[in-house]
């Protein structure tokens, strides 16, 4: 609310995006509740969906309300302004939201049903936010009418997207960057690469209850069990022996497991009446989230059990909740590169169609990787290395949640696409008018920086507020998404984009002729429609006296 009040300078204009987003969250969470009646939904899904839904819901409404107020200032009626805002920014909202939904739905290819459901639950809330921005929001704008700037706060009434390219601080900054592009390019890349260094040591795993707040009852229970029976008591390993007459093999396996380093105790085997299945419980010396526990599971599977059961016809399996968590981490880590490649490929194709360029989408893909890498690095530094862990309410270092990299990448891909389209479409529009690469970057950044900054501040406010949630996985998302949006809106949009576009010059908009003929023409921000409407309005909005004197001419024009 504070960010919107500063951006709009009006209580009504600031309240409309908040109301739209909150209403969308209620509807989205209700749909997730219905989903839970048909399938198992992980408990963390509702918190994650709330975080994403609030962020995109307020941001999408911000873009539409910003454009609506700019049309009002040009003299359009509230109904016409709402229609034009929906035809321009509303189209961009649908495009950006669809990319987020596609990326979240793509989590199905992770091969883990729970991860797929989490992605689907978050996608449902994003869809509701999109629909609210193009249906409920215009209705609220119509109700507000000319009173949208009532209850004024501060000394500025203009929309956040207004501003002359020669007077705004962002335009002046873009001019400075464009004069020394190599210096700013090298410096910004160095900062991003340093932030991403911790990614090299990322270790995924499921955090145990030893990371909860010490005042919580389940944390107290975990500490008592760990003190009395060892840290591995809360994550036992279940070994299953399957075959014919497995009693002898089960005893041999138990003896071999008990001699394995990292095992503190082995419970005697339990054999079923048929004699073809045996269960052995092994207690590790380390906690479920410890890397040594994962190494123990892999050692039992690859070395200990095969050596004991070789030639007997029996098969051994290491299972249970701890082993399953390790398997999920391994599988998601293996599929993460493929998922990232698919998302980056999709973003390249979409931006190539929108901007009819090869270099622009290629640079956007690389910049997205850099900003997300910096976010991953921040998460590893805080949660795995323990840098500043007390500031986020963390009591012990933990491995990174296995589904965080995928889900965070999917969300940030859509959000980055939103800012990318908003900025580059304005730069492309200015370049089409002047043909001057440097001035188009300066004017484009000068005309969009304020609204992008406002949108980023809202995202940061929403994501950072979830640091107050005691759940460690939610804290990870809060830190990662906050850092990613901060980096994307500052270093990437304010430094990397103008520097690289200055260095590339006219080549930014190069596209082979044969490919240009194949690609469809997509105007996702409705600039052509807005231009036609404004041209018509300029002809058909004379004074009342002119209408009376030139009625026949106006009919002809119509």
Euclidean distance between CA atoms 247 and 390, whole angstroms: 51
For the cut 90, the answer to whether the pLDDT of residue 119 exceeds it is no
Euclidean distance between CA atoms 506 and 439, whole angstroms: 12
Q: What is the DSSP string of 410-445?
A: HHHHHHHHHHHHHHHHHHHHHHHHH--HHHHHHHHH
Highest mean pLDDT among 131-140, 412-421, 428-437: 131-140
End-of-domain residue from the set 113, 145, 162: 162
Euclidean distance between CA atoms 332 and 410, whole angstroms: 14
For the cut 50, the answer to whether the pLDDT of residue 544 exceeds it is no
| Residue range(s) defining the domain that contains residue 549 | 531-557
For the cut 50, the answer to whether the pLDDT of residue 554 exceeds it is no
Euclidean distance between CA atoms 376 and 336, whole angstroms: 13
> pLDDT tens for residues 357-370?
888 888 888 888 88
pLDDT of residue 527: 58
Average pLDDT, stretch 236-265? 91
- pLDDT, mean over the chain: 83
Euclidean distance between CA atoms 74 and 81, whole angstroms: 9
Euclidean distance between CA atoms 227 and 373, whole angstroms: 38
End-of-domain residue from the set 162, 197, 218: 162
Euclidean distance between CA atoms 458 and 7, whole angstroms: 11
End-of-domain residue from the set 319, 346, 370: 319
Instruction: Note whether residue 188 is domain-resident.
Output: no
User: 318 pairs with which residues across the strands?
Assistant: 239
For the cut 90, the answer to whether the pLDDT of residue 7 exceeds it is no
For residues 414 and 160, which has the higher predicted lDDT (pLDDT)?
A: 414
Q: What is the DSSP string of 453-504?
A: HHHHHHHHHHHHHGGGSS-HHHHHHHHHHHHHHHHIIIIIIIIIHHHHHHHH
CA distance readout (Å), 435 to 165, 359, 395, 432: 16, 17, 56, 6
The pLDDT-based confidence of 454 (bands split at 50, 70, 90) is: confident
- 263-271 and 237-242: which strand pairing? unpaired
Share of the chain above pLDDT 90, in %: 26
Are residues 246 and 149 part of one domain? no
Highest mean pLDDT among 149-163, 323-337, 533-547: 323-337
For the cut 90, the answer to whether the pLDDT of residue 263 exceeds it is yes
Are residues 158 and 33 part of one domain? yes
Euclidean distance between CA atoms 460 and 473, whole angstroms: 17
pLDDT of residue 159: 47
For the cut 80, the answer to whether the pLDDT of residue 81 exceeds it is yes
Are residues 90 and 7 part of one domain? yes
Euclidean distance between CA atoms 406 and 43, whole angstroms: 18
At 442, list the tokens. Answer: 């300066």
Are residues 248 and 148 part of one domain? no
Euclidean distance between CA atoms 448 and 456, whole angstroms: 12
Euclidean distance between CA atoms 294 and 303, whole angstroms: 14
Euclidean distance between CA atoms 194 and 436, whole angstroms: 34
| CATH number of the domain residue 258 falls in | 3.30.70.100
pLDDT of residue 523: 63
Instruction: Note whether residue 402 is domain-resident.
Output: no
Average pLDDT, stretch 445-450? 77
For residues 317 and 448, which has the higher predicted lDDT (pLDDT)?
A: 317
Share of the chain above pLDDT 70, in %: 91
> pLDDT tens for residues 281-294?
999 999 888 889 99
- The three-state secondary structure class of 537 is helix
Are residues 120 and 16 part of one domain? yes
> pLDDT tens for residues 194-234?
999 999 998 888 777 777 778 888 888 988 988 888 888 88
b vs e for 221-248, b when ≥16 Cβ sit within 10 Å of the residue's Cβ?
Answer: ebeeebeeebbbbbbbbbbbbebeebee
pLDDT of residue 551: 43
Among 98-102, 180-184, 185-189, whose mean pLDDT is lowest? 98-102
Residue 223 CA from chain centroid, whole number: 35
pLDDT of residue 190: 93
At 247, list the tokens. Answer: 């009693």
Instruction: Note whether residue 150 is domain-resident.
Output: yes
At 124, list the tokens. Answer: 């449902």
Give the gyration radius of the chain's Cα atoms: 28
Instruction: Note whether residue 437 is domain-resident.
Output: no
Are residues 139 and 33 part of one domain? yes
Are residues 298 and 154 part of one domain? no
Strands (E), 22-139: none
Euclidean distance between CA atoms 38 and 249, whole angstroms: 42
Are residues 144 and 10 part of one domain? yes
pLDDT of residue 542: 40
3-state helix, strand, coil in the chain (%, to 5): 75, 5, 20
> pLDDT tens for residues 488-504?
888 888 888 888 888 88
pLDDT of residue 436: 75
Instruction: Note whether residue 313 is domain-resident.
Output: yes
Among 447, 454, 449, smallest CA distance to 4 is for 454
DSSP state letter for 381 = I
For the cut 50, the answer to whether the pLDDT of residue 162 exceeds it is no
- The three-state secondary structure class of 543 is coil
pLDDT of residue 154: 63
Are residues 151 and 5 part of one domain? yes
The pLDDT-based confidence of 550 (bands split at 50, 70, 90) is: very low
Instruction: Note whether residue 57 is domain-resident.
Output: yes
Instruction: Note whether residue 127 is domain-resident.
Output: yes
For the cut 50, the answer to whether the pLDDT of residue 26 exceeds it is yes
pLDDT of residue 349: 84
Are residues 151 and 271 part of one domain? no
3-state DSSP of 45-61: HHHHHHHHHHHHHHHHH
For the whole model, what pTM was predicted? Answer: 0.79
Are residues 24 and 138 part of one domain? yes
Phi, psi (degrees; rounded to nearest 5) at 202: -65, 130
> pLDDT tens for residues 87-111?
888 887 887 788 788 878 878 877 7
Contacts of 531 (CB under 8 A, 6+ apart): none
Are residues 7 and 129 part of one domain? yes
For residues 109 and 372, which has the higher predicted lDDT (pLDDT)?
A: 372
> pLDDT tens for residues 458-497?
889 888 998 988 888 889 999 999 999 999 888 888 888 8
Highest mean pLDDT among 151-160, 261-270, 535-544: 261-270
Strands (E), 309-424: 315-319
Count how many domains the chain has.
3
Among 549, 545, 538, 523, smallest CA distance to 87 is for 523
Instruction: Note whether residue 515 is domain-resident.
Output: no
Highest mean pLDDT among 40-49, 190-199, 324-333, 495-504: 190-199
In this structure, the chain runs to a length of: 558
DSSP state letter for 194 = H
pLDDT of residue 28: 93
Among 201-215, 253-267, 451-465, 528-542, whose mean pLDDT is lowest? 528-542
Question: Is the CB of residue 81 less than 8 Å from the CB of residue 104?
Answer: no
pLDDT of residue 528: 59
Highest mean pLDDT among 247-251, 298-302, 506-510, 550-554: 298-302
């Amino acid at each position: 609310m504070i960010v919107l009040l500063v951006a709009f300078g009006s209580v009504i204009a600031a309240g409309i995006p908040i109301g739209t987003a909150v209403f969308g969250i209620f509807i989205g969470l209700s749909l997730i509740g219905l989903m839970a009646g048909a399938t198992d939904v992980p408990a963390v899904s509702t918190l994650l969906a709330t975080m994403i839904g609030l962020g995109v819901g307020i941001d999408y409404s911000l873009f539409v309300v910003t454009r609506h107020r700019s049309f009002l200032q040009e003299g359009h009626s509230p109904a016409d302004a709402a229609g034009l805002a929906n035809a321009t920014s509303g189209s961009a909202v649908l495009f950006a939201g669809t990319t987020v939904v596609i990326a979240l739905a793509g989590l199905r290819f992770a091969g883990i049903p729970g991860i797929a459901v989490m992605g689907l639950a978050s996608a449902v809330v994003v869809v509701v936010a999109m629909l609210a921005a193009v249906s409920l929001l215009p209705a609220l704008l119509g109700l507000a009418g000319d009173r949208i700037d009532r209850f004024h706060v501060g000394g500025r009434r203009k929309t956040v997207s207004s501003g002359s390219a020669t007077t705004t601080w962002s335009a002046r900054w873009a001019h400075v960057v464009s004069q020394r592009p190599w210096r700013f390019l090298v410096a910004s890349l160095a900062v991003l690469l340093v932030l991403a260094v911790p990614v090299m040591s990322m270790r995924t795993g499921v955090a145990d209850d030893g990371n909860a707040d010490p005042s919580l009852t389940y944390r107290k229970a975990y500490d008592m069990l760990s003190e009395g029976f060892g840290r591995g008591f809360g994550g036992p390993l279940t070994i299953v022996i399957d075959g014919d007459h497995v009693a002898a093999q089960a005893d041999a396996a138990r003896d071999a497991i008990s001699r394995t380093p990292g095992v503190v105790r082995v419970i005697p085997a339990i054999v079923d009446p048929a004699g073809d299945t045996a269960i052995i419980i092994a207690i590790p010396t380390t906690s479920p989230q410890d890397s040594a526990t994962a190494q123990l599971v892999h050692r039992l599977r690859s070395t200990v059990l095969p050596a004991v059961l070789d030639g007997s016809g029996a098969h051994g399996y290491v299972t249970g909740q701890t082993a399953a968590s390790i398997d999920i981490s391994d599988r998601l880590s293996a599929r993460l590169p493929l998922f990232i490649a698919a998302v980056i490929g999709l973003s390249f194709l979409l931006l190539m169609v929108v901007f009819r360029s090869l270099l622009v989408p290629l640079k956007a893909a690389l910049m997205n990787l850099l900003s997300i890498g910096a976010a991953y690095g921040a998460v590893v530094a805080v949660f795995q290395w323990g840098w500043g862990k007390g500031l986020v309410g963390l009591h012990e270092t933990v491995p990174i949640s296995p589904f965080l990299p995928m889900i965070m990448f999917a969300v940030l891909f859509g959000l980055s696409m939103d800012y990318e389209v908003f900025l580059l479409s304005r730069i492309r529009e200015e370049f089409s008018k002047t043909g001057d690469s440097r001035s188009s970057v300066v004017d484009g950044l000068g005309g969009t920086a304020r609204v992008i900054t406002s949108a980023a501040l809202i995202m940061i406010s929403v994501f950072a507020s979830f640091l107050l949630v005691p759940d460690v996985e939610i804290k990870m998302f809060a830190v990662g998404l906050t850092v990613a949006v901060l980096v994307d809106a500052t270093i990437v949009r304010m430094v990397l984009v103008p520097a690289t576009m200055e260095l590339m010059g006219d080549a930014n908009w190069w596209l082979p002729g044969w490919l240009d003929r194949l690609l469809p023409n997509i105007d996702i921000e409705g600039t052509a429609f807005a231009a036609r409407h404004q041209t018509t309005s300029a002809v058909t909005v004379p004074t009342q006296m002119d209408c009376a004197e030139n009625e026949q001419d106006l009919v002809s024009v119509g």
